Amino acid sequence: ERFARKVDEKGIVLVQEIAPDLPTLSLDPKRFAQIFNNLLDNAGKYTPAGGRIAVSAQVVTAAGKPTLTIAVQDSGPGIALEEQEKIFHFFYRSPDHVGIHQGIGIGLALARQLAEAQGGTLQVESTAGMGATFTLQFPLPSSLTQSVNCHY
C-alpha cells in the first residue's frame, strides 16, 4: 500500500514482466513479502518523479541449474561500484543520499539476510547515474517438471 501510494504520488511507471506458470517454492510467505516489499520500497524511494520501475519474475537455467529469478529495476541515481556491497550492511547509508531520502539503512541488509536464510541470494547490478537492478534468486530442484502459479 505504501509503495502504491509512492508510485502514484511520483507518477512512476510500473512495468511487470511475470512469466506464466512460475513454480511454487517452499518459502516463508511472510519473509518473502518482507524481502519483496523492501526491494519495492527501495526502488520507489530512489526512482525520481516520472521514472520507471520494472519487476520481472522467471525461471532461469544456468549451468543446468534452474532458479526462480525475480528482478526489481529502477531508474534512480544508481549505486557506485564501491558502495554496491556496503548497501547490504546494516545501517549503511550512502553519504550521497543522507538527508535526501528517508531511511536508516536496514531494508536491503534485512532483505539479503532473509533471502539467504531461505536458500536464496540477493545481488545488485548498477552503474552510477543509470539506475539499479536488484536480483533475487532461489534455486529450484532440477527435477522440477510441473509448473503452477506462484503468487505473492
Condensed to tens digits (0 to 9), the pLDDT of residues 53-71 reads 999 999 999 888 999 999 9
The string of pLDDT tens digits covering residues 2-52 is 788 888 899 999 999 999 989 988 899 999 999 999 999 999 999 999 999
Give me the domain span that covers residue 7.
2-139
In a domain, 83, yes or no: yes
User: Full-prediction pTM beyond 0.75?
Assistant: yes
Please indicate, yes or no, if residue 144 is contained in any of the structural domains. no
Identify whether 150 is part of a domain: no
Which CATH number do you get for residue 82? 3.30.565.10
**Total number of domains constituting the chain:** 1
CA distances, 144 to each of 4, 29, 70, 108, 118 (Å):
34, 20, 18, 30, 18
Judge whether 146 lies within some domain: no
